[in-house]
Each structure stands twice: as C-alpha cells, then as structure tokens.
C-alpha cells in the first residue's frame, strides 16, 4: 500500500473513531443525566404521594379504614398532588390492588424486592414503550400498603435515539469533509517524497544530471537536500573516474603507438637485411635506422621506468642543498648543452628543499633538457634559485621557440609533444613533463609555466617551506 493511502486511511480512521466515541459518550451522558433527573423527580413524587397518603390515613379514625374509604382517600390525595404525568396504584398487604388511577398495569416484582428500603424503582418495557416505576411501603396503624407510581418515559428514549440518528448524519458529513482535507493534506505531505522517489529512479536509470526540488525545510526537505548533495558528489566522482579511465586509455593507446612505431622500423629494416641483397648504402641506412629506433625504445623504457618508480615508492625526504644540486645537474647536462653551444647562466642562492635527492636531480635534468630541445644553436638558459618567505623558488628560463598558450595545459599529458618531429629529432619520447609533474606532486610543490611563441618559456617551481612540507607530508 502506498504511503499516501496509509496516511489517508490512518487519519480518516482515527478521526472516525474519535468522533464516534466522543459523540456516543456525549449522547449517553446527556441521556443518563435526563434519566437520573427523571428518577429523582419520580422519587420525590412517590415520596409526596406516600406522605400525603400517610397523613390522610392517620387523620382517619381506625373504624373508617375500609377498602372503599381508602380508595376514595387515595383518589382525593392524587387529585391534590396534581401530577397527571403519573399513574398511581395502591396495593394491600397481600399485594391485592386497593386503588388505581389508570388501567395501565405492568408486571413487576418490586414489592417483593422492597425489603427494608423505603423506595425502589425500575425501568420497564411494555409494548415498545418505556416506563419508570417506583414502589414504596407504608405502615399505617398496623396495616401495610404498597404505593406505586408509574411514568411513561418513552419520550426520553426517543429523544436519545433521535440524537443518535442525527449524530450519524453529522458524522457521515464530518468524515467526508475530513476525508477530503486529509486527502489533500497527505498529497501535500507525500508530494516531496514522490518527487524524490521519481528523481532517484531517474538517477538510477542513468540521468545523472537530474536533481530533486527541495520543498520546505522539514525532514523530507533535508533529505532532498542530502540527496542532491549525494548526487552531486556521485556525479563528480563519476566524472573523475571517467576522466581517469579516459586518461588511462589515452595512455595505453599512446604507449602502444610509441612502442610500435620504433618496433615497426626495427623489424622492417631487419627483415630487409635478412631477406634482400642490398647494396652497401642501403645496408648502412637500414642499420642506422635500426640503431636509432632501438635507442628510441631504450630512452622510452628508461623514462617509463622512472615514471613507474615515482608512482610506487615511499620516499624518505631529507634537506637537500639546492645550490650543490644545481651544480651537479649542470655537470650532467653539460655534454648535451655543449653539442648545441648553449650557454647556461645559473644564479642559485644557498638554500634547502625538503625532498628526495634523485627525484630532484631528475626534475632539473628534465627541465633543462626541455629547454635545450626548444633552443636553436647558441641559445641561452637561465637558472635562478631564490629563498622566499614561504619556501624556495626555482626558475628555469630559455629564449627558445616557446609554444602557443593552449598547448601549455597539455604538455604534462603522457606522450604529448608540441612539435612531434622536432622533439623526435632531439630524442624526446613525450614523457619528460609528465615525469616532472609527478615529481612536483610528490614534493607538494607548485609550478607555473609561461610561454610565448618565438620568445621562450619560463617555468617556476615553488617548493613549500619546511613546516608546510611537513604538514602536507603528514596529511
């Protein structure tokens, strides 16, 4: 059963029960009150009748107390009482009828039940009518009389039944009215739930951009808010995962390409060498290609290895003196730089960076190597190292060919090369900047790149100060 109908039926049932119980209680209470008043009144009337009868009987001398005189006396007493609502009867000691004011006679055993009580009553039913009957006993001069007064109270019961039937109509109208109200109310209450449920179904069905409306700030409103929050987070996570999967796929595809390209040449030229009669020039050419493409594979495997190493290892960071490190790197790069007659200026302040020695060497070598690849013969490279309040800033600048602005974001993607053919000639495999980006990440450092076509590229690397580095390391 739907929650909507549950609310509807629960409320309707509750209201019906409450009103019925209350109504029945009210009517019954009213009726009881009237009945009690009637009984009190009847009692009083009976008392009066007894009193008047006894007074008159006592004033009568003993000799006149015959049945006929008693009967006449009773008649005059009743006439004096002036209450025609009641009919009176007088019985003798043996319950023999002495006098009756009307013919109406009802069977009852009150006279036997009387005992020592002065007056008792009973409600009797006869021929569809209700009667209230009172009996009391009078002892007058050794004689016993039973005095009976009777009243028709059918009207009282009729009135109650009238109330009941009226109340039934009122109840029905009431239930209908509240039914409508409850229907509307439960619709309003469940609307946000239905809304939420529909949205959830849509989300489950793959529409990840749907959000539910937040109606009000009650529990359901909060739930809707939480739901939206959850959906946002989920979508974001999913986008991230998709992005990661896409990157992984791109990496695999690029990797396959980078691996198969040199392999194609190596296999192809080797196949030619073993199957064909080639002249010396052709043989030389083929052998050269096999050598250079083999070298390319070698550098690809080295770079990949470096990349894998940066991903896996848990590093022990130490204080690395940057000036000494830079000098070391320049020694490593010297040979390659001299081949192109590149001049390298270095102005590095004494300072320390919390990091891993080999990774930092690799970072600097790659940055300088990238600058070298972008430079023509006789180009220049500047290396600056400055102590900053919040860390150490290392800058590598060249006056080489630079790159367009929209390429800057892509250069850290694996196997991405701004100028493929030039990079290839310089022996690049497209992993240098990916590696740098990894190393910078490991060191919790930041980097910025600016570049202008034809003017050169500048890369700033900002290493965090000791406290910051420690803090990030612990996180």
Partner 1 sequence: MIKILIVEDEEPISNLIRMNLTKAGYQCRCAFDGKEAADLMMVNPYDLILLDIMLPKVNGYELLDYAKSLDTPVIFITAMGTVENKVKGLKNGADDYITKPFEIVELLARVETVLRRYNKAEQTIQILDIEVDVPSRVVMQNGEQITLTLKEFELLLLFIRNKNIALYRDTIYENVWESEYMGESRTVDLHVQRLKKKLHWEDKIVAVYKVGYRLEA
Residues in touch with partner 1 (CB under 8 A) = 253, 256-257, 260-269, 271-272, 274-277, 282, 285, 289, 292-293, 420-421, 424
Tokens 């992984």 identify what position? 248
Task: Judge contact between 346 and 309, C-beta under 8 A.
Answer: no
The number of CA neighbours under 13 Å toward the Cβ of 99 is 23
Residues 6+ apart with CB under 8 A from 296: 262, 424, 427, 429
Closest approach, Cβ 296 to partner 1, in A, equals: 9
- Which of 296, 397 has the CB closer to partner 1? 296
The C-alpha atoms of residue 193 and residue 187 are separated, in whole angstroms, by 10
Q: From the CB of 409, what's the least distance to partner 1, in Å?
A: 19
Checking DSSP bridges between strand 86-91 and strand 143-152, what pairing results, if any? antiparallel
What's the min distance (Å) between Cβ of 451 and partner 1?
20
Taking the least distance from each CB to partner 1, the nearer of 181 and 267 is 267
Nearest to 111 by CA among 124, 99, 95: 95
Measured distance between the N- and C-terminal CA atoms of the chain, rounded to whole angstroms? 51
CB 444 within 8 A of CB 461: no
**Shortest reach from residue 304's CB to partner 1, in Å:** 17
Comparison of 34 and 292: residue with beta carbon closer to partner 1: 292
Residues 6+ apart with CB under 8 A from 351: 321, 322, 323, 385, 387, 392
342/414 with CB nearer partner 1: 414
Enumerate the H helices of 205-218 as residue ranges: none
What 3-state DSSP class applies to 312? helix
CB-CB contact of 46 with 119 (8 Å): yes
Least separation in angstroms between residue 450's CB and partner 1 is 25
- Compute the least distance from the CB of residue 205 to partner 1, in Å: 27
CA-wise closest residue to 186 among 373, 441, 4, 430: 4
User: CB 257 → partner 1: shortest distance, Å?
Assistant: 4
**422-453 b/e with 16+ CB inside 10 Å = b?**
ebeeeebbbbbbbbbbbbbebbbbebebebee
Nearest distance in Å: CB 295, partner 1: 12
Is 351 or 430 the residue whose CB approaches partner 1 more closely? 430
Q: Are 12 and 175 in contact (CB under 8 A)?
A: yes
Give the H or E element holding residue 130: strand 129-140
Tokens of 67: 């049945």
Q: Measuring CA to CA, how many Å separate 27 from each of 22, 31, 33? A: 9, 6, 10
Which residues lie below 8 Å from residue 81, measured CB to CB, with a gap of 6+?
Answer: 45, 48, 49, 52
For residue 288, the minimal CB distance to partner 1 (Å) is 9
Least distance to partner 1 from the beta carbon of 431, Å?
A: 17
Q: Which is nearer to partner 1, 345 or 425 (CB)?
A: 425
> Which is closer to partner 1, CB of 202 or CB of 424?
424
CB-wise, 171 or 272, nearer to partner 1? 272
Distance (Å, whole) CA 213 – CA 195: 7
Closest CB to partner 1 among residues 258, 398? 258
Q: Shortest Cβ distance from residue 282 to partner 1 (Å)?
A: 7
Cα dihedral across residues 339, 340, 341, 343: positive or negative: negative
Q: Report the residue number, 325 or 417, with the smaller CB distance to partner 1.
A: 417
Q: Give the nearer residue to partner 1 in terms of CB position, either 288 or 338.
A: 288
Give the separation between CA 125 and CA 137, rounded to whole angstroms. Answer: 23
Q: Name the residue nearer to partner 1 (CB basis): 335 or 421.
A: 421
């Amino acid at each position: 059963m739907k929650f909507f109908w549950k609310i509807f039926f629960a409320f309707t049932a509750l209201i019906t029960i409450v009103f019925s119980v209350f109504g029945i209680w009210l009517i019954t209470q009213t009726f009881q009150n009237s009945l009690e008043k009637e009984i009190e009144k009847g009692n009083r009337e009976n008392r009066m009748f007894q009193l008047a009868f006894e007074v008159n009987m006592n004033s009568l001398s003993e000799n006149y107390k015959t049945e006929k005189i008693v009967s006449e006396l009773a008649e005059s007493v009743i006439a004096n009482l002036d209450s025609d609502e009641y009919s009176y009867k007088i019985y003798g000691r043996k319950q023999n009828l002495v006098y009756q004011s009307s013919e109406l006679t009802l069977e009852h055993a009150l006279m036997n039940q009387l005992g020592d009580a002065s007056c008792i009553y009973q409600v009797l039913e006869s021929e569809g009518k209700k009667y209230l009957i009172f009996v009391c006993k009078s002892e007058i001069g050794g004689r016993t009389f039973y005095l009976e007064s009777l009243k028709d109270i059918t009207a009282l019961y009729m009135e109650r039944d009238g109330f009941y039937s009226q109340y039934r109509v009122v109840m029905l109208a009431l239930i209908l009215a509240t039914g409508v109200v409850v229907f509307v109310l439960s619709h309003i209450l469940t609307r946000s739930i239905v809304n939420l449920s529909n949205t959830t179904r849509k989300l489950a069905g793959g529409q990840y951009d749907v959000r539910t409306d937040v109606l009000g700030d009650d529990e359901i409103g909060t739930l809707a808010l939480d739901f939206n929050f959850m959906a946002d987070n989920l979508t974001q996570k999913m986008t991230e995962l998709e992005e990661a999967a896409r990157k992984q796929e791109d990496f695999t595809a690029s990797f396959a390409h980078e691996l198969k390209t040199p392999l194609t040449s190596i296999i192809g030229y080797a196949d030619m060498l073993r199957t064909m009669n080639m002249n010396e020039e052709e043989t030389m050419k083929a052998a050269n290609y096999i050598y250079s493409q083999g070298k390319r594979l070698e550098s690809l495997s080295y770079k990949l290895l470096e990349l894998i190493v940066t991903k896996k290892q848990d590093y022990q960071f130490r204080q690395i003196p940057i000036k000494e490190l830079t000098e070391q790197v320049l020694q490593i790069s010297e040979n390659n730089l001299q081949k192109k007659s590149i001049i390298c200026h270095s102005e590095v302040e004494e300072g320390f960076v919390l990091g891993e020695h080999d990774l930092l060497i690799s970072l600097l070598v790659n940055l300088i190597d990238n600058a070298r690849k972008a430079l023509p013969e006789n180009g220049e490279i500047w290396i600056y190292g400055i102590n900053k309040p919040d860390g150490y800033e290392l800058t590598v600048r060249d006056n080489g060919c630079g790159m367009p602005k929209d390429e800057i974001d892509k250069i850290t993607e694996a196997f991405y090369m701004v100028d493929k053919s030039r990079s290839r000639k310089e022996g690049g495999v497209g992993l240098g900047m990916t590696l740098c980006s990894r190393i910078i990440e490991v060191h919790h450092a930041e980097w910025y790149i600016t570049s202008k076509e034809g003017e050169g590229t500048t890369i700033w690397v900002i290493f965090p100060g000791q406290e910051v580095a420690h803090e990030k390391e612990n996180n």
